[in-house]
């Protein structure tokens, strides 16, 4: 890629930095910083806001506005449990934000297969590449998640932090980012690896990384929406209680193909019997 083309990526990240930092902080606090650290600071502020806004709105809706509709009263997590999840997530957030910052740096330097505009390749190739990107991410997260369980030291020192939430009344949308920092980064790494394998629209990549905060909130709310083939909260709640099933991220496909799928509908049937 030529320098003029790479400048489009730099201009885009600078635009995002100006939107977030320019509206929330005095210029004297962030403008002197090198571009890399401006990007990290923007990711940190945006990620934190997204975590709190999505988490609070989600909890307010399912635990208060729709109390006893989606989640039984005795299954609502305590404020203490949710505050602990927030504490764990906030300790990890500065480290989480290093990953998108690094990925943007690599894109800006032309080290990946990212393209700047959909018009550069057309809508059909964009959709095809996006589907391939999502398949690579699904494959990568499944195996990363599974190995965090299967490799005992990784589970003991990293993933066990997240699995202290192992009952319905200990899970909440705030648990979605309550990981050991390295655990959270490892599970997001497939998003970055895919950039080196698949031509990817830069803005779409950034959007998908930040949508992870909303997606992880969704799959920890214990509400079984039963939308096939989505790996929703019903499946993920089973994962938190059995530890050996439903490692997938967006869909059930990897678990179905590799024999680790357990369906929440079947589980309900067993309870009735």
Burial (CB count <10 Å: 0-12, 13-18, 19+), residue 178: buried
Alpha carbon distance 232, 247 (integer Å): 11
The predicted structure's pLDDT at residue 271: 52
Backbone angles phi, psi at 200, to 5 degrees: -130, 135
Q: Could you tell me which residues come within 8 angstroms of residue 147 by beta carbon, excluding any fewer than 6 positions away?
A: 154
Packed helices 181-197 and 79-96: angle between N→C axes, nearest 10 degrees: 50
The predicted structure's pLDDT at residue 273: 45
Residue 113 is inside which H or E element, if any? none
Report, as ranges of residue numbers, the positions in the chain whose pLDDT lies below 50. Answer: 272-273
29-52 pLDDT, tens digit per residue, is 999 999 999 999 999 999 999 999
Alpha carbon distance 219, 235 (integer Å): 8
Packed helices 3-24 and 202-218: angle between N→C axes, nearest 10 degrees: 40
C-alpha distance across the termini of the chain, in Å = 62
The predicted structure's pLDDT at residue 250: 92
Note if the pTM is more than 0.85. Answer: yes
On whether the CB atoms of residues 16 and 41 are closer than 8 A, the answer is: no
Alpha carbon distance 72, 140 (integer Å): 35
Distances 258 to 48, 147, 151, 187, 239 between C-alpha atoms, Å: 35, 14, 18, 19, 15
How many other CB atoms are there within 10 angstroms of residue 26's CB atom?
9
The predicted structure's pLDDT at residue 218: 87
SS (H, E, C) 191-220: HHHHHHHCCEEHHHHHHHHHHHHHHHHHCC
């Amino acid at each position: 890629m030529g320098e003029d083309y790479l400048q489009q990526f730099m201009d885009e990240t600078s635009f995002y930095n100006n939107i977030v930092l320019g509206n929330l902080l005095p210029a004297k606090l962030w403008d002197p910083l090198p571009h890399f650290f401006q990007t990290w600071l923007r990711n940190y502020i945006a990620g934190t806001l997204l975590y709190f806004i999505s988490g609070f709105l989600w909890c307010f809706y399912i635990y208060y506005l729709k109390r006893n509709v989606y989640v039984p009263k005795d299954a609502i997590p305590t404020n203490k449990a949710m505050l602990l999840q927030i504490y764990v997530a906030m300790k990890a957030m500065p480290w989480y934000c290093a990953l998108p910052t690094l990925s943007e740096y690599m894109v800006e330097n032309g080290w990946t297969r990212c393209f700047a505009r959909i018009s550069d390749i057309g809508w059909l190739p964009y959709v095809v590449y996006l589907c391939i990107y999502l398949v690579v991410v699904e494959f990568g997260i499944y195996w990363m998640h599974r190995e965090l369980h299967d490799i005992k030291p990784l589970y003991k020192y990293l993933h066990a932090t997240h699995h202290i939430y192992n009952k319905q009344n200990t899970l909440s949308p705030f648990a979605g980012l309550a990981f050991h920092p390295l655990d959270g980064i490892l599970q997001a790494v497939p998003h970055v690896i895919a950039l080196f394998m698949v031509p990817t629209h830069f803005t779409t990549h950034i959007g998908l990384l930040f949508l992870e905060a909303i997606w992880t909130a969704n799959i920890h709310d214990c509400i079984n929406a039963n939308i096939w083939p989505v790996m929703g909260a019903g499946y993920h709640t089973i994962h938190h209680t059995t530890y050996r099933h439903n490692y997938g991220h967006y869909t059930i496909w990897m678990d179905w193909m590799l024999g680790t799928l357990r369906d929440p509908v079947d589980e309900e049937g067993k309870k009735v019997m």
